[in-house]
């Protein structure tokens, strides 16, 4: 079994990177807009289905499906933003209201996917050449390498925008203190709209990557991804971009290593237990600021 460990660690890292990406878009939306997107996973699955249509049915390349998925889900995000966001933020309890609202969106997305694609599990079939690479004893499929590379590229891109450009700085400032930004005169509405749509686009893109890495998905796989995304985000500290990526990798590694030693079904449980333990010890997450003002 220990011979398998390097293999499992690599897999954990790849899955973890994707989980991190999953959390990253969630944490940006939550941080900047105080919106808890419970439809996160369903939109991810929508992205996977776009990949399914593009590759398995149309025979197009995964790269093209990523572009389509990005644009498609970003458009959904833009639509939701213009229809609902202001109302949600003005409601008496924005977090809970958004939680419920997006649960509604989640049900609608799942039902729509079920209606279009039926209840069967699907997978993204694309013949890579070569199918896999071998490094010493570790075999990694081409699809996974591609997913990891793209995942890292997107995370790097997001971090570049967040930490190196003026828009990213404004957005991070919005995560910390919205009112201050209003006072300074930043057009927070347009900034939020773009951030929201781009985050949703990244959700769609993540869906394509998940289609490549995970064997199969069906219209109601969404909730599982939503939960993983939330766990990852809460692990790292809500609204903390670096935390989300680190949380994702921790969760991915825990899941894969446990699956190796204790069996597949315990993989997820241990991930959850890690979350619960960390949250009970450090309620603001690994990277969360301790609040000491009273």
Partner 1 sequence: MVERRPKTSMAGQSKAQSGDMTETSAQTSDPGASPSRRRISKIAIRVWIVLVGVLFLSGAVVPLATDSLSFWFYMFQWIALAVGLNLAAGMIGYLPFGYVAFFGSGAYATGILVQIYAAPLWVGIVGAALVGALVSLLFAPTLRLRGIFFSIVSMSLAIVMQHLVSLLPSEFAGGSAGITFAREQRPQLYYYCMVVVAMLAVLAMTVLVLSRQGLMLKAIRDDPDVARVIGLNVSAWRLAAWIGAAVIAALCGSLEGLYSSIIDPHASFNILISAKAVIYAAIGGFGTVMGPVLGAVGMSVIDEIVWSRFPIANLFVLGAIVAVVTLYMPRGVVGAMLKKSPRFRRWLF
Measured from the CB atom, the residue of 123 and 224 that comes closer to partner 1 is 224
Measured from the CB atom, the residue of 101 and 196 that comes closer to partner 1 is 101
Measured from the CB atom, the residue of 26 and 69 that comes closer to partner 1 is 26
Residues 6+ apart with CB under 8 A from 212: 51, 62, 124, 126, 143, 144, 146, 147
Q: Please list every residue from 20 through 79 that binds partner 1, using CB under 8 A.
A: 36
Q: What is the DSSP string of 185-236?
A: T--HHHHHHHHHHHHHHHHHHHHHHHHHHSS-B-TT-HHHHHHHHHHHHHHH
Measured from the CB atom, the residue of 55 and 226 that comes closer to partner 1 is 226
Q: Please list every residue from 191 through 250 that binds partner 1, using CB under 8 A.
A: 223, 227, 230-231, 234, 238
Helix axes 62-80, 188-213, angle to 10 degrees: 140
Rounded to the nearest 10 degrees, how much is the dihedral formed by the CA atoms of 178, 197, 31, 89?
A: 60
Size of the chain, expressed as the number of residues it contains:
294
Q: What whole-number distance in Å separates Cα of residue 18 and Cα of residue 248?
A: 7
Stretches 55-63, 108-116, 138-146, 147-155: which one binds partner 1 (CB under 8 A)? 108-116
Based on the shown chain and the rule CB under 8 A, indicate whether residue 279 belongs to the binding site for partner 1: yes
Q: CB–CB of 24/235 below 8 Å?
A: no
Stretches 10-18, 83-91, 162-170, 208-216: which one binds partner 1 (CB under 8 A)? 83-91
Q: Which residues bind partner 1 (CB under 8 A)?
A: 36, 84, 87-88, 91-93, 95-97, 99-101, 103-112, 114-115, 223, 227, 230-231, 234, 238, 265-266, 268-269, 272-273, 275-276, 279-280, 283, 294
């Amino acid at each position: 079994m220990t011979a398998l460990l390097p293999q499992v660690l690599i897999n954990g890292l790849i899955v973890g990177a994707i989980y991190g990406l999953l959390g990253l878009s969630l944490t940006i939306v939550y941080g900047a807009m105080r919106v808890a997107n419970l439809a996160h996973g369903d939109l991810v699955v929508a992205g996977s289905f776009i990949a399914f249509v593009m590759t398995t049915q149309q025979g197009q390349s995964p790269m093209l499906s990523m572009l389509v998925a990005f644009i498609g889900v970003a458009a959904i995000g833009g639509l939701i933003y213009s229809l609902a966001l202001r109302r949600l933020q003005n409601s008496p309890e924005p977090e809970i209201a958004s939680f419920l609202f997006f649960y509604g969106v989640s049900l609608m997305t799942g039902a729509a996917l079920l209606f279009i694609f039926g209840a069967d599990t699907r997978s993204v079939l694309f013949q890579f050449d070569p199918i896999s690479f071998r490094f010493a004893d570790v075999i990694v499929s081409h699809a996974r390498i591609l997913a990891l590379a793209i995942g890292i590229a997107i995370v790097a891109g997001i971090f570049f925008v967040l930490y190196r450009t003026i828009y990213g700085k404004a957005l991070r400032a919005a995560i910390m203190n919205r009112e201050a930004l209003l006072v300074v005169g930043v057009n927070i509405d347009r900034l939020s709209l773009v951030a929201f749509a781009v985050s949703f686009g990244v959700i769609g893109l993540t869906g394509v990557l998940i289609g490549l890495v995970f064997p199969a998905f069906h219209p109601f796989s969404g909730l599982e991804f939503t939960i993983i995304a939330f766990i990852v985000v809460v692990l790292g500290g809500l609204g903390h971009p670096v935390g989300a990526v680190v949380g994702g990798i921790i969760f991915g590694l825990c899941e894969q290593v446990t699956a190796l030693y204790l069996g597949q079904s315990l993989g997820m449980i241990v991930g959850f237990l890690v979350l619960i333990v960390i949250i009970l010890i450090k309620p603001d997450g690994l990277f969360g600021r301790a609040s000491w003002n009273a």
